[in-house]
């Protein structure tokens, strides 16, 4: 009898182990399927967000094209689709100070505007000019890359060579490590500078802060300047005259490079953001060309959304 009970006990133990093993496999399979479903959902959301960013960029190019000869003043628009929405903000890079082309006195005035002492401003401005001169000499004239050469977009559109003059800088962050440059100055200058502008600032689109940063800026006539600028038939030369000596640093570019800030959100809650620089060239085969595309990480996205909402 004892042998029979022992055999039954071993069979029961085997059955229990089998049941436990099946339960464990079922749990593992369930967890795997849930993980796989989560991955598929995230990939789907990511694809949808990329599609929204592409739609936003296309819309921005359409807005700029519709302006024709009118200056691309800053504006924000939100587009809504079945998969989510995208907020886009366009602004003219010609209205900012180009660190690769601006005269040294403009760079020094800009540094003073953001808090640098006179001596420090002059020294750092000279170092910026020296750095860009060295960078320019390091490249043969017939092989100089254009502003968008360093950008390797992994997003909407195919990066093309812009029709802008060569520049030693491809990103404003390249001057952050110049000896004497302070982080707070760089942070304050970032919204006011570009590498896609010209040797002058576009008076039709320049933010007030950019105008105030110019040498010999005449603040007394700023209100009159801003009132005249809103006129649909404004004369750039008469407009510039209102700013007194600072008018020598103003210039309306023939080609407009536009910055496009994009923030997309899917209906499932996934968000993505990017900044692009585009140009529309006359008689071009392409409707627009992408000079640079920079995805914005999740860590920086909150600040981008807050910045766009502030407009």
pLDDT tens profile 171-193: 999 999 999 999 999 999 999 99
What pTM was computed for the model? Answer: 0.74
| pLDDT reported for residue 69 | 78
Mean pLDDT of 235-258: 91
Helices 118-137, 104-113: axis angle to 10 degrees equals: 140
pLDDT classification of 298: cutoffs 50, 70, 90: low
Sign of CA dihedral 271, 311, 187, 147: positive
pLDDT at 140 over 90: no
User: Would you place residue 160 in the very low, low, confident or very high pLDDT band (cuts 50, 70, 90)?
Assistant: very low
Nearest to 152 by CA among 9, 28, 303, 292: 292
Would you call 213 exposed, middle or buried from its count of C-beta atoms within 10 A (0-12, 13-18, 19+)?
Answer: buried
In 3D space, the residue among 171, 128, 172 whose CA is nearest the CA of residue 150 turns out to be 171
* Per-residue pLDDT at 299 exceeds 60: no
């Amino acid at each position: 009898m004892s042998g029979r009970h022992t055999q039954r006990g071993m069979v029961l133990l085997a059955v229990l182990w089998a049941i436990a093993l099946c339960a464990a496999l079922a749990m593992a399979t369930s967890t795997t399927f849930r993980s796989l479903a989560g991955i598929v959902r995230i990939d789907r959301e990511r694809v949808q967000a990329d599609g929204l960013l592409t739609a936003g960029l296309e819309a921005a190019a359409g807005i700029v094209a519709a302006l024709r000869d009118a200056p691309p003043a800053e504006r924000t628009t939100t587009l809504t689709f079945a998969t989510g929405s995208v907020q886009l903000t366009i602004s003219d890079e010609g209205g900012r100070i180009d660190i690769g082309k601006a005269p040294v006195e403009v760079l020094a005035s800009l540094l003073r505007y953001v808090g640098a002492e006179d001596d420090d401003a002059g020294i750092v401005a000279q170092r910026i000019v020296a750095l860009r001169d060295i960078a320019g000499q390091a490249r043969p004239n017939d092989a100089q890359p254009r502003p968008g050469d360093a950008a390797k977009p992994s997003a909407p559109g195919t990066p093309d060579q812009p029709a802008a003059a060569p520049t030693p800088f491809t990103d404003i962050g390249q001057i952050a490590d110049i000896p004497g440059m302070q982080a707070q100055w760089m942070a304050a200058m970032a919204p006011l500078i570009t590498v896609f502008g010209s040797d002058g600032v576009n008076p039709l689109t320049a933010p007030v802060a950019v105008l105030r940063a110019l040498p010999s800026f005449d603040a007394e006539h700023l209100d009159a300047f801003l009132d005249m600028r809103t006129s649909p038939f404004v004369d750039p030369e008469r407009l510039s005259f209102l700013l007194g000596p600072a008018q020598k640093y103003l210039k309306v570019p023939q080609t407009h490079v536009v910055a496009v800030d994009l923030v997309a959100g899917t209906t499932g809650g996934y968000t993505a953001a990017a900044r692009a620089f585009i140009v529309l060239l006359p008689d071009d085969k392409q409707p627009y060309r992408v000079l640079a595309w920079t995805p914005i990480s999740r860590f920086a996205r909150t600040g981008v959304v807050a910045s766009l909402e502030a407009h």
